[in-house]
């Protein structure tokens, strides 16, 4: 029996990965069969669309699954559920004969945007900041911009008056550009600093600290005062050493 400790959530993450890859493999096999069979036709195009959608949403599920076993795994579980629901409804619409009501389309787009945003947020949350403040701050700013972008998209979907506002598309574009810039920057920085040690303040070993405390006690000083006199040369002049 292997005594290596297993990371929490590792088994669940492996199951999710296997299921997602298996589903995508089946969808891909169907797409390949349709393409090699000649003229796809109506049903064939639906199979190809299903293959593309399964692949796209599979990426979203895998991104959220990367958080399983991490502090933000609750977000990963939620994002994966939203992505699966969005995928099911979208694929259902590919095979449906009639168009549903307007509210359904708005709900569908809401779920699609939420699934895409959750996948990107999961990638950002999975970044190992390595104790670097700049990466943590940049990630937080990018996540905040992502949240603003999602809210603006939801307003555009559910509020009809938003279509009459000429400034709304520009604001949304600026926000998503900032999200893209921050995401790429954070991912690249995390890759560049991976494995590099973080500079930390020098610390004394327990033995050195005990030696300083004993010497300070013999001199009738506190450890801080004793070290200060050593640094400015006073200890040597007064014969402490």
Check residue 123 and give its pLDDT. Answer: 93
Give the burial class of 83: count Cβ atoms within 10 A of its Cβ; 0-12 exposed, 13-18 middle, 19 or more buried. Answer: buried
CA gap 76, 236 in Å, rounded: 61
Q: In Å, how far are 56, 125, 143, 176, 187 from 183, measured between CA atoms?
A: 19, 11, 9, 10, 6
Q: Can you list the alpha helix ranges (DSSP code H) found in the chain?
A: 10-36, 41-65, 73-95, 102-125, 133-158, 167-193, 206-218, 223-231, 234-237
The residue ranges of every structural domain in the chain are 9-126, 129-196, 210-237
Check residue 183 and give its pLDDT. Answer: 94
CA gap 46, 84 in Å, rounded: 19
Over residues 23-68, the pLDDT tens digits come to: 888 888 888 888 887 667 778 888 889 999 999 999 999 999 999 8
Q: pTM of the full predicted structure?
A: 0.72
Higher pLDDT, 101 or 62: 62
CA gap 176, 171 in Å, rounded: 9
Over residues 120-137, the pLDDT tens digits come to: 999 999 987 767 888 899
């Amino acid at each position: 029996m292997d005594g290596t400790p297993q990371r929490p959530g590792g088994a669940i993450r492996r199951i999710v990965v296997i299921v997602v890859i298996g589903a995508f493999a089946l969808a891909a096999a169907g797409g390949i069969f349709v393409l090699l069979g000649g003229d796809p036709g109506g049903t064939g195009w639906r199979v190809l669309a299903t293959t593309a959608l399964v692949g796209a949403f599979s990426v979203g599920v895998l991104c959220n699954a990367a958080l399983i076993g991490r502090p933000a795994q609750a977000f990963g579980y939620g994002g994966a559920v939203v992505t699966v629901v969005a995928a099911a409804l979208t694929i259902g619409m590919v095979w449906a004969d009639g168009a549903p009501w307007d509210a359904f389309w708005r709900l569908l787009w809401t779920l699609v945007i939420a699934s895409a945003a959750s996948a990107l947020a999961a990638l950002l949350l999975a970044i190992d900041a390595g104790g670097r403040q700049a990466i943590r701050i940049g990630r937080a700013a990018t996540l905040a911009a992502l949240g603003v972008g999602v809210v603006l998209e939801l307003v555009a979907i559910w509020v009809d008056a938003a279509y009459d506002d000429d400034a709304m598309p520009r604001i949304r574009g600026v926000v998503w550009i900032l999200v893209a810039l921050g995401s790429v920057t954070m991912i690249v920085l995390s890759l560049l600093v991976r494995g590099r040690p973080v500079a930390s303040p020098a610390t004394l070993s327990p033995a050195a600290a005990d030696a300083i405390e004993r010497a300070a006690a013999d001199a009738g000083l506190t450890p801080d005062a004793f070290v200060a006199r050593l640094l400015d040369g006073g200890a040597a002049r007064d014969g402490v050493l």
